[in-house]
Structures are given as structure tokens and as C-alpha cells.
Structure 1
Amino acid sequence: MEVEWFRGQVVFLTGATGNLGGCLVYKLATQLPTAKIFVLVRGSVQKALEAWEQSMPEQVEDVISTGKIQFLLGDMIQPNLGLSSANVSRLCNEVTVVINAAGDIALSRSLAETMPINCIAHLTLAGLLDSFTQLKRFLHISTTYATSFLPDGVVKEQIYPLYEDPVEEFRKILVTGESSYTKKFAAPYALAKHLAECLLSNGDHKFPILIVRPCLISPAIEDPYPLYGSDGAIPAHSFIQILLKDSEYGPLQLEKELPSQVTSNEIPVDLVARVCLAHVAQGTTGVVHASADLYMARTIGELLELMHRYAPPGSEDRIRKAGIDQGDLTAPDFFNMIQQFARNWKIECARSAHLKKLPGPLGLDLADHDPEDFFRRRTELLAKVLFEKLDNATQAASKFHPNMS
């Protein structure tokens, strides 16, 4: 009856235009009996709608037509989230569930750059929630990479203390923009997320806190539609493109360097959304993992073998020769990072094991789903997207160089 728990609930959602956020919006609006969904958007409502039109073009009308969506203009990194006093008052008096899915997963940002959205903003939100008179649940989305300082072995669903005094560490970072712990993590983003976990769990708040840590997110199995997931929001897709554009640090070189038996932790975005919402309904507190064990745990070797099997012939060479710009994270930087942090972690998911027997919008019973066929379709779609990028880049170049052949 977890679905029925949502009847009449008023939700406040941050990060709604992101990959996981869009999936949560869709499920909260169309699959669950929520009464209202306040959505924090930055810039304008039009920008939010355009983002949804881009990520789920055939589902936006279904979401909006429910009449549940209430847009609130604001900014996570501003005091009071950049909300007007009138909107703060509305939230304080009406909201029963808060889901914080805001964040910036860019791995190339420095600690000073990533702290505002991946740590400070979460603390600002938590401080605001102490005045919410109707609040029953608070869900904070973190990442399994918040524990990337741990050695090989089991990673339990708990907070792992690292700092003698998290508050003092936070203050030091605010002043200097640096931390002596940064190199212990896969990226500064992960340190910021870990520090946020520590500070939230140690804070003297009036509301219960649930922290869900997803591993790497992959395209959706079903919701909002099969293979939903913007290309830039699927880490594995970005990593592949980074490596393909560099002949020295390509996937073939990576295959030689990485231990093939290490688990490649990925989980479809809609399964993460189901885990999140199921635990919200159940009133779970503390830490919950959403990792590959709840779907299909593959090793790096198995993942690469499947990619080779289903990638169109010659696609690697074609993409490498043309080159696709993937921002400021270079192939050598990424190659070194993945070598260092391709550890043999066993991400424990015991608190969600019961969901694998549960059907419906909050369950993980996947019925007749075929994981290999799904991976085939995913690989073919990725190749299609990359080829379209190459064609667009070629057309753009030809406008500046008409004599190109």
C-alpha cells in the first residue's frame, strides 16, 4: 500500500529538471495520488518546460495536465533558496514531503566551485525546513561516490565518519576553498556530497532524514519511457565519449589497465526513483543505497564485452577520428581517475531487497524485462546519438569551410 500513502501529500521537489528529478516529477504527477507538487526552478518557468520538452517530449503534457505542478522561481545557492517570502510561507504551511534532488555532477569542478550546490545549498534547504509545520518526510539524494575514500570491500548503508569535526572542516573549506581530504575522493564533487551527509545527519533538525545514495545512473527501463535519460546525464555515456576522442587513452587501452572482475555499478534512473519513493512512503530514515545489486551487477569486463558486441561496426574509429568535445575533463584526467577508483566495492542494498518482489510504480519486480536486450537497444541508441553529433559537427564545419569534402 506504499502508493496509497502518497494520497493527499504535498511535495516540494528540487532538481526537477535534472535526469533523476524529471523521472521523479513524472512518477509523482502521473503514477501517484499526490495532491500538489511544488517545483523549484531557476531562471523562468519557460526554461523548465523547455528542459522537460527536451528530456521527455511526449510526457510533458501528461505531467502538466494533472494540474499538480506549481512552479516556484528560486535558486538553490541563494539565501532561502531565492524564494519570495510569500512562497516560503506557502511551503511552510502546506508541504508534507521534501525531495532534494538538486546537484551538479560535473567531475572537473574544483572543491570551491562544487561546494555551493553540492553542500552549502543542502544545508540552506535543511535550515529552511525547520520552519515547515506540516513536514513528514525529507529525502536527500547523495551518491555512492560519497564513500569513494573507502578501500575495497563492503560499503554498508551508513554514514562513514572521516573528519574529526565536520563543522570545522566545513568552515575551513569556506575560508580556503581547499581540503586535505580532497585526494581521498574520486572527485571534489564526492567530497562535497560526503560532507553534506555528515552535516545533515549531525544537525539538530526537527524532521527525520532519509539519504539515498545512487551509484552511476543509466537510462530508464520504463519511466517516463524506455531509454529515457539525457546523454550528458548518463555518466557512462559521457565517459565513453571522453575516451573515444583520444587515441592514446581509448577504451581498448582502458581494458588493458582495468581489472575486468571489478563490478561496474550502474542502475537505471527509474529504479532509483522507485527506491526513493518507496522508502519515502515507508518512512525510512538513515542511509539507503540504490546500486547495481538491485538490478544487474556486471563486471567491467562483462560491460565492455557487451559494448563490443552491440556497437555498430567501425563506430569507435569513426568517432575517434572525428572527435567530440566533452568539456574540460580530459581523457588522461578521466583515465587516471577511473584507474585509481575502479575498486572492488560491494555496495550493500539490504534495506531495499524486499522491493525486488514488489510490482507496480514503487517496486523493483521487473517481470519479463530482458537486461541484455535492453543493453543492446541502449548501445544502439548511444551510437545513433554520437553519429548525429558527428554529422552536425561536420555540417557546421562545412559552413565555415565550404570546400571541405
Structure 2
Amino acid sequence: MCSDIQDYYRNKTVFVTGGTGFMGIVLIEKLLRATEVKRIYLMVRPKAGKSIEERLTNFCQNVVFEKLRNTGVTLTDRLHTILGDCQTSNLGISAEDRKVLIAEVNVVFHLAATVRFDEPLQKAVSINVRATLDLLELAKEMRNLEAFVHVSSAFANCVVHSIDEKYYVHKLGIGAVKMCELAESLSVETTNKLASVLCASYKNTYTFTKSLAEEAVLSVGRSLPISIFRPAIVIQTYKEPLTGWVGNFYGPSAALYACARGVLRVMQMKSQHKAHLVPADSCASLMLAIGWETARSDQRQRLNLAPPIYNYAHDDENPLIWKQYMSAITELGSELPISKMIWFPFMITVSKKWLYDILTFFYHIIPGFIIDLLLTLKGKKKRMMKLYRSIHKLTGVMEYFIVTEFTFTMDNTKSLWNSLSTRDKDIFNFDIRSINWKEYIQFSLTGMRIYLGREGPETIPRARLLYKRFKILHQLLQAVGIGLLISLVWILVRKVFS
């Protein structure tokens, strides 16, 4: 059986920005393993004192590429670095490298972005908007360009709660080009102060600038063979190339890990709302399918239609709800506990902010203060209150997107899926309706132990013993607390009626 997508990518040259990030790594691995792509140019900047050559060496040693390495493949035969930086004018790409890209590139995947919700506006505009505009202009010079996939976010347009596969540029109040001109004409401090006005309805600089980048694609890039991919919250891989692989402490995966360690005990959320979480490997498959579809659809360019958008989230056919995701710790915690836990893992979810603040004080602040006090008495460095500040910052930026109910239409994504051959559906499976969520969550917990906790199977017996001990202590503490509360109520009642 033939694969149309594999046939398309055979002998193609691909340029990837943001390839060293979590989703970028999964995309590149899939490209190298599932297609006979000729060459991948990966834009990399020097970081932490390491050159781009050193970073490429470290990149190729990632556990994600283990399956490829075991087949005898030398990654650097098809993977080459391009020195570049999204915070630099014209992406910081040299004239020589630009010539190479202009002459050779067939497909562009633009994943580079700052995903920090609290990024200063000046920096967020530079990375998420100006870099996109610069890349679009570079793409216009590429003589053999066939497809450009711009990676946005399902929540880029969070000013509306029912999000269709269309543009919401009228909500911005300013275009991408004008915003960049404004940022360049003002000081960094003045631009950052504008965030409270420009980003108010978008909740943070990330969603605002990602929406601006979509406007850039529409206004500046519509002459290109280009599409927009809007994934929801990207978390652990489902099945490829490893089950449950995650590359960083961020978002729901970090919250789940903090809960498993017995540190995070309270979260504000509407537990019956859909958890718009999508596996990284499904996203990689969908991106490759979008690139193929974009290259073969020339009607849009002839008719000067807006670049198509592909939402990727949940609908009613196979939903995952927040309660189902966060309760995994209590349901599967005894099977896959973490040996680094500091208390029995449990999770209380509440929808009211005032109740969340009260419970946080009793379940986070007081225990954190007590532990820090004990550490100080032992002559050790305090850490719990600092940890809780980080956790509360993380959950705070997630709060709006967990408490608010969002719905997404996915007509283009479903149509693309239906257009695939049986073979392509097997190799590039992004059908979210086919995910067994219980299985996926179990994979996620296993991956969380291995890749975030750095704990192998050999730690499970000790972790299970620790889990049982903490459970007994937790139940005793609950019993004491309930007893004290009953005693307090009884004393008050006696005083009132005596």
C-alpha cells in the first residue's frame, strides 16, 4: 500500500524553526523516521555557552532518537544546523545561509516561539511576531517553496470562547506590522507597559502575540502556499517514538508531576470542562499531513483565499475532562508512585476563587512554612515557600484556560483526516477520536516518572512502600484534623447554648 505523504516528502528539503523545543523534537524525529526527507535545516542559536555544533550533538543524543540510532542511522547525515535567532533582525541568518535556504528549501515548519505567558511584551513581539514577519519575507524568496506550516495555538484567540477555523484579527485592534513598528519606535519599558492595555482581553502576552502572528500570515503571507496549525495544550507523546515522553516541566504535565510528589494539593478548575490536551506525536503527524495538503492545494492561491487553519483540540466524540486527567494520581498513584514524594499525593479541585485561596493557605502555605522552619532549624536551605511561589505562578497562568469552557470546530482537520489513504492514516495517525484516554494517562504517568522524575522501574518497590506509609500518615492527620474541628464546634455550641 502506498503512502501519499511519504511519497511527497521523499527527497524534499525542509527548514524548521523551533526544532529544539518539545514539539519540534518530536516533529523532526517523525520526519527522519517516517519519511525519506533529503535534508532538514534546523535553525539554532548559541545557548548557555554552547555553540550550535555542540547543541546539535546534544540534540542528536536525545532519548527520542534512540529508535532511529538503533537502526544505524546517522542523524547528522540529513540534519544540518543554520545559525539563527528569532530575537535578531532577519532572524540573524547570514547571507550565505540565506542563499542556501532560498535555493533549496521546499517546506517550512515555523514552530519557534516564546511560550511563556508572562513574557515582557517587547520580547514576545520580537520572537512571536517580528520573527514570523521576517520568515515570511524570506519564504517569498524561496524559489522551490511548496508548503509553509505556521504553528499557532488553539488559544491564540481566547477573546472568544467558541473558536472556529477562521481569523479573529478584528479583535486585535492593531496589525502585526504596525505592532512591530510601534515596539521599535518606543523604549522597551514603554512597550512593556502597553501590555496592560493591548493584552488585557487576551490575558497574557503569549496569546496576544500568537494572534498577531496569525494576522501576519493573513496579511503578509497569503501569497505563499501557507497554512496555520492551531494545537491545543501539547503534552506527552502517546505512542511514538516513546510512550509518555515529555521534554520539560511546563503546563499540565508539570502540575501532574507536582501532584504526584505530594506538593500540589489544590487547583482551581471546572472539573467537568473538557481538558484540551493533545499528544505531541499526534501533533507531529498532523503537521506533516498539513504540509502535504498545503503543497497539493493550489486552488487557494489562484483564488487569493485566506490561508486555511487547522484547529486541533477536543470535540464531543471522545472528550477528556479535567477531572479524568487530574484524578489519575489518586486512581493510579498506588501503581506508579514517585520515590521523591514528600507527602501522600491527592488533589482537591474547586471552581470558586475564594475557596481556592482558603484551601491553598491551609494545604500549601502553612505546610510549606512549617517545612521551611524545620529545614532552617536543621541548618539547611529553605525551599518550600519558593517552590510554592513557582507552583502558584504556574497554576495562575493556567487558571483562565482551565476555568473557562472553550469549544473548537475542526472541520478542516477532520476533512484532512478523511482525505488520507488507509496507509497514511496508519503511519500519520492524528485522529483524536481514536485515543484511549485511560491508556494514554497511564502512559503519561509512566513517562512522567522516567523523563521528569528520572526514576526507572527499579525505584517502584521503594516508592510503593513510601506511598503506603504516607497514606497512613495522611489518614491519621485527617482524623486528628476532623477530631479537632468537631471538638471546636462542640465547644462553640456549648458556649452558645449554656
TM range (shorter): 0.7 to 0.9
Which protein has the bigger helix share?
2
**Aligned partners of 2:96 and 2:317: how far apart in 1?**
43
2:411 paired with 1:350: yes
Aligned 1:78-157 pairs, distance under 5 A: 78-151=88-161, 154-157=162-165
Deviations 1:227-264 (A, max 9, x none): 222133x52122345678997xx44x32xx42222111
Counterpart position of 1:340: 400
Shift of 1:269: 0.3
Equivalent pair of 2:256/2:326 in contact (CA under 8 Å): no
Amino acid at match of 2:129: C
Counterpart position of 1:222: 239
Counterpart position of 1:310: 332
Amino acid at match of 2:16: L
**Aligned partners of 1:353 and 1:275: how far apart in 2?**
11
**Aligned partners of 2:430 and 2:318: how far apart in 1?**
12
**Aligned partners of 1:261 and 1:155: how far apart in 2?**
19
2:390 paired with 1:330: yes
**Aligned partners of 2:146 and 2:389: how far apart in 1?**
40
In structure 2, do the counterparts of structure 1 residues 332 and 277 end up closer, same or farther at CA, with 3 Å as the change threshold?
A: same
Equivalent of 1:287, from 300, 309, 332? 309
Shift of 1:89: 0.6
Deviations 1:50-75 (A, max 9, x none): 13423525146366348222222222
Look up the SS of the partner of 1:144 in the other structure.
coil
Aligned 1:2-401 pairs, distance under 5 A: 2-43=5-46, 44-56=52-64, 58-59=66-67, 61=69, 64-65=74-75, 67-151=77-161, 154-161=162-169, 162-166=171-175, 167-174=177-184, 175=186, 176-177=191-192, 178-179=194-195, 180-203=197-220, 206-232=223-249, 234-240=250-256, 250-251=264-265, 253-254=266-267, 257-283=268-294, 285-293=307-315, 296-312=318-334, 315=341, 317=343, 330-341=390-401, 342-354=403-415, 355=417, 358=422, 359-364=425-430, 370-383=436-449, 388=454
Amino acid at match of 2:55: K
Equivalent pair of 2:117/2:397 in contact (CA under 8 Å): no
Shift of 1:193: 0.8
Amino acid at match of 1:362: F
**Aligned partners of 1:360 and 1:326: how far apart in 2?**
46
Equivalent pair of 2:129/2:216 in contact (CA under 8 Å): no
Amino acid at match of 1:290: Y
In structure 2, do the counterparts of structure 1 residues 242 and 199 end up closer, same or farther at CA, with 3 Å as the change threshold?
A: farther
Look up the SS of the partner of 1:146 in the other structure.
coil
Equivalent pair of 1:3/1:281 in contact (CA under 8 Å): no
In structure 2, do the counterparts of structure 1 residues 192 and 371 end up closer, same or farther at CA, with 3 Å as the change threshold?
A: same
Equivalent pair of 1:45/1:73 in contact (CA under 8 Å): no
**Aligned partners of 1:206 and 1:267: how far apart in 2?**
30
Consecutive unaligned residues in structure 2, runs of 5 or more: 47-51, 298-306, 346-363, 372-382, 460-498
How many percent identity over aligned positions?
18
Amino acid at match of 2:404: R
Deviations 1:117-152 (A, max 9, x none): 22211111111111111111111111112112213x
Deviations 1:194-247 (A, max 9, x none): 111112211165412211011111111222222222133x52122345678997
Q: Which protein is bigger by CA-based radius of gyration?
A: 2
Could you tell me the TM-score, scaled by structure 1's length?
Answer: 0.83
Consecutive unaligned residues in structure 1, runs of 5 or more: 392-405
In structure 2, do the counterparts of structure 1 residues 294 and 38 end up closer, same or farther at CA, with 3 Å as the change threshold?
A: farther
Q: Which moved more, 1:18-27 or 1:362-371?
A: 362-371
Shift of 1:329: 7.0
